[in-house]
Amino acid sequence: MASVLGTKCDVPMPDERLEVSVTYDASCGYIGSVPGLKAPVVALSLGGLRRKVEALMVPDEPIIVLQLDGLAERERHRRRAQAQLPTR
């Protein structure tokens, strides 16, 4: 599994870390399972997923760590490769 780390805090505290399990479904995008929330969080991008989770966790401002499964990791690599293609 790969992780993508990001925070809104200047000084991250170890106890504020929130791990989000992420998978990908072509019909709806990235799907994150967040401990403590009843429903999964869905977004079209990893950045959007992170922002939605951060908004749901206010005022705690945890460090969000996205744990990508194989499907999510492959989609992330595909999007990065597509973004690097030269345009005409």
Give per-residue pLDDT as tens, 15-39.
678 899 999 999 999 999 988 888 9
pTM above 0.95, yes or no: no
Say if 65 falls within a structural domain.
yes
Say if 75 falls within a structural domain.
yes
Say if 58 falls within a structural domain.
yes
Average pLDDT in the 59-72 region? Answer: 91
Say if 13 falls within a structural domain.
no
* Structural domain that includes position 26: 2-7+19-83
> How distant, in Å, are the alpha carbons of 12, 17, 35, 49, 74 from that of 38?
26, 19, 8, 16, 27
The rounded mean pLDDT for the chain is 84
Helix (H, G, I), strand (E, B) or coil at 13: coil
Domain count, the chain: 1
Say if 37 falls within a structural domain.
yes
